[in-house]
């Protein structure tokens, strides 16, 4: 989609919903979650979260994230059952109810990152033994790992902690058998993701999965999968040359919007944030659309004739 078209619809965003007939509503960072007696309705909004708050609303972002997840749920359903019942609207996913597991299943295929929990941060500080895997000496930043590694973290704590599978069992969070099953399935999902992404010119670098147990106690894939908000993607075509030169890979970049806010306010302390420039909002929207089209191989299509809430309300009658 041309950026001029996006600018025309810069204010046509889904900020929030408040449907009274869908049960109890819980507002997440990006999604509004409605709990019904027999299912859950997940509405992906256009909210953009950073600094532990909403900093902007990005046109079409909710549709992109929901449709990318829909694509990947379909691509991986032979590996594990997922929570999808139906997708009645570009912004909506109707899901099975289940009991979420208390960990995020993080899988990494490359040694990279700058945060305190990243593999590269720990490795460059001298760590080699990560509990369930040991990394070789002399690895370089952004290098492909010998095989994908499983680095789970806690989910329901104020500050997530990275734990080894052994620590998860020792703390009584999950049984050894369940942890082993989650690790096995997560790695299979990741390898499938890498395979499909590479066929579309992308490297799936790392990602996080969330799992639950269904009514029969069977493992089920929930939440989202392989979206640009839960995964890191690099462009495959330029990776090798840039790695040899010691340059960072080309990647899907949302950071420019965070940087703008850090340059123009204190986003952690200021009660009211300035409004981000329309050009930056439109550019971020364009990038979300571009990665949707790259991953799925399909053009992004949006109904410009019907207001978003009108369309959603009508489509919700189908569930």
Range of the domain at 82: 3-98+277-316
What are the DSSP calls for 235-256, one per residue? EHHHHHHHHHTTPPPPB---HH
Question: Rounded to 5 degrees, what are φ and ψ at 289?
Answer: -65, -40
Same domain, 111 and 179: yes
Same domain, 161 and 231: yes
Residue 174 in domain: yes
Same domain, 219 and 137: yes
* Per-residue pLDDT tens listing for the chain (319 residues): 889 999 999 999 999 999 999 999 999 999 999 999 999 999 999 999 999 899 999 999 999 999 999 999 999 999 999 999 999 999 999 999 999 999 999 999 999 998 888 999 999 999 999 999 999 999 999 999 999 999 999 987 777 888 999 999 999 999 999 999 999 999 999 999 999 999 999 999 999 999 999 999 999 999 999 999 999 999 999 999 999 999 999 999 999 999 999 999 999 999 999 999 999 999 999 999 999 999 999 999 999 999 999 999 999 998 9
Same domain, 29 and 129: no
Same domain, 234 and 185: yes
Same domain, 52 and 103: no
Same domain, 197 and 305: no
Which residues is 212 bridged to in the sheet?
100, 220
99-100 vs 143-150, strand pairing mode: unpaired
Residue 10 in domain: yes
- H helical segments located in the chain: 3-8, 61-76, 119-124, 165-170, 176-199, 236-244, 255-264, 278-296, 308-316
Q: State the virtual CA torsion across 139, 147, 64, 61 in degrees, nearest 10.
A: -30
Domain count, the chain: 2
**How large is the angle between the packed helices 61-76 and 176-199, nearest 10 degrees?**
110
Residue 253 in domain: no
Residue 22: predicted pLDDT? 96
Residue 254 in domain: no
CATH of the domain at 7: 3.30.200.20
Residue 145 in domain: yes
- Final residue before a domain boundary, out of 220, 244, 268: 244
DSSP 8-state code for residue 135: P
Structure tokens at 107: 């899988």
- Final residue before a domain boundary, out of 219, 244, 269: 244
Residue 29 in domain: yes
Residue 296: predicted pLDDT? 97
Same domain, 176 and 291: no
Residue 86 in domain: yes
What is the CB neighbour count within 10 angstroms for residue 130?
16
Task: Kindly tell me the number of DSSP H helices and DSSP E strands found in the chain.
Answer: 9, 14
**Cα gap 186→203, rounded to integer Å:** 17
Residue 71 in domain: yes
Which residues is 54 bridged to in the sheet?
49
Same domain, 139 and 103: yes
CATH of the domain at 157: 3.30.470.20
pTM for the predicted model, two decimal places = 0.95
Same domain, 66 and 38: yes
Same domain, 137 and 215: yes
Same domain, 90 and 141: no
53-57 vs 47-50, strand pairing mode: antiparallel
């Amino acid at each position: 989609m041309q950026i001029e078209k996006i600018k025309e619809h810069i204010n046509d965003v889904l900020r929030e919903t408040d449907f009274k007939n869908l049960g109890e509503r819980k507002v997440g960072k990006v999604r509004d979650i409605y709990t019904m007696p027999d299912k859950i309705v997940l509405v992906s909004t256009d909210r953009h979260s950073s600094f532990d708050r909403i900093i902007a609303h990005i046109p079409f972002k909710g549709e992109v994230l929901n449709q990318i997840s829909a694509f990947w749920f379909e691509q991986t359903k032979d590996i594990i059952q997922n929570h999808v019942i139906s997708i009645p609207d570009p912004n909506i996913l109707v899901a099975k109810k289940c009991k979420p597991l208390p960990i995020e299943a993080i899988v990494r295929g490359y040694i990279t990152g700058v945060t305190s929990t990243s593999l590269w941060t720990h490795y460059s500080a001298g760590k080699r033994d990560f509990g369930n895997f040991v990394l070789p000496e002399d690895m370089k930043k952004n290098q492909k790992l010998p095989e994908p590694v499983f680095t789970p973290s806690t989910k329901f704590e104020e500050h997530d902690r990275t734990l080894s599978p052994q620590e998860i069992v020792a703390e009584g969070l999950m049984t050894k058998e369940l942890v082993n099953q989650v690790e096995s399935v997560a790695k299979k999902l990741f390898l499938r993701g890498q395979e499909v992404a590479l066929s579309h010119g992308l490297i799936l670098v790392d990602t996080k999965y969330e799992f639950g147990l269904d009514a029969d106690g069977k493992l089920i894939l929930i939440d989202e999968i392989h979206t640009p908000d839960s995964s890191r993607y690099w462009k495959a075509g330029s990776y090798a040359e840039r790695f040899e030169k010691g340059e960072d890979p080309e990647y899907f970049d949302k950071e420019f919007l965070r940087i703008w806010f850090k340059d123009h306010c204190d986003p952690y302390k200021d009660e009211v944030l300035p409004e981000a420039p329309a050009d930056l909002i439109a550019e971020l929207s364009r990038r979300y659309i571009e990665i949707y089209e790259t991953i799925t191989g399909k053009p992004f299509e949006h109904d410009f004739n019907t207001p978003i809430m009108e369309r959603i309300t009508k489509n919700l009658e189908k569930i």
